[in-house]
Amino acid sequence: MSEPRLVDPGEVVMTGENSFIRLSADGGKTLVDRVSHWRVLWSPAGQGHALFIDSPLLGGGPRVYADNIGMARYLQRRIESLLHPPFGDESLPVADAEFARTGNALATVEERISCDDGEIVLAWWDLLPAFVITVPPGQMNRPIGVYSTFLPARGAQLSVNGVASAAQPFAQDRSGKASSSCVLAWSETWVGPGGVP
């Protein structure tokens, strides 16, 4: 009897976090605000933070903030171009920013991004039970796969310089698990076939 395979055969693309906020004014038919927040513990381009955001609070159109520009470009090339192509546009300038987290996973979690534009605050609360997603490479028309712990939030908010978006989270189902459009995605690892990053 052969032993079960305990090691994923693919390359590690990155490991860390990729929490997101997607807010709507019509129950999810269209999005008003879209935010992808990365805390990278390891990647071939180093570690650090990146924020990809598209919101009327910032004038509309995608923007990128990071404390490691090379890592942000790596995320665009390897992952964001597959998740949301407008965030994967490497012609977008990357603004320098500082990142900090407050709160805790049992109550309210806040990510604060300080930059020349002021302060962007992301908040998640009223969390649903956690679950793990497993998407091997090749599924969902993506060459890379992801393993992540999802903590969906019933409540979430995006604010820029103290002005909060009026749009709201909306409920989603993920393979029978209650989820939402706003999720803390922690312990996240992206994997793919071997090769040059």
Task: Tell whether the model's pLDDT for residue 197 goes beyond 60.
Answer: no
CA pair distance 30, 32, nearest whole angstrom: 7
pLDDT tens across 150-165, in order? 999 999 999 999 999 9
Tell me which of 91-95, 104-108, 118-122 is least confident: 104-108
Q: Where are the domains of the chain?
A: 11-192
CA pair distance 139, 2, nearest whole angstrom: 26
State the pLDDT at residue 3: 73
Task: Tell whether the model's pLDDT for residue 43 goes beyond 90.
Answer: yes
**Which two structure tokens, joined as six digits, stand for 92?**
């977008």
159 close to 165: Cβ distance less than 8 angstroms: yes
50 close to 38: Cβ distance less than 8 angstroms: yes
State the pLDDT at residue 60: 81
Task: Tell whether the model's pLDDT for residue 20 goes beyond 70.
Answer: yes
DSSP conformation letters of 136-183? -TTGGG-SSEEEEEEEEEEEEEEEETTEEP--B--EEEETTEEEESEE
Residue 4 binned pLDDT confidence (cut-offs 50, 70, 90): confident
pLDDT above 70 covers a percentage of the chain that reads 97
State the pLDDT at residue 106: 77
Task: Tell whether the model's pLDDT for residue 52 goes beyond 50.
Answer: yes
Beta bridge partners of 33: 23
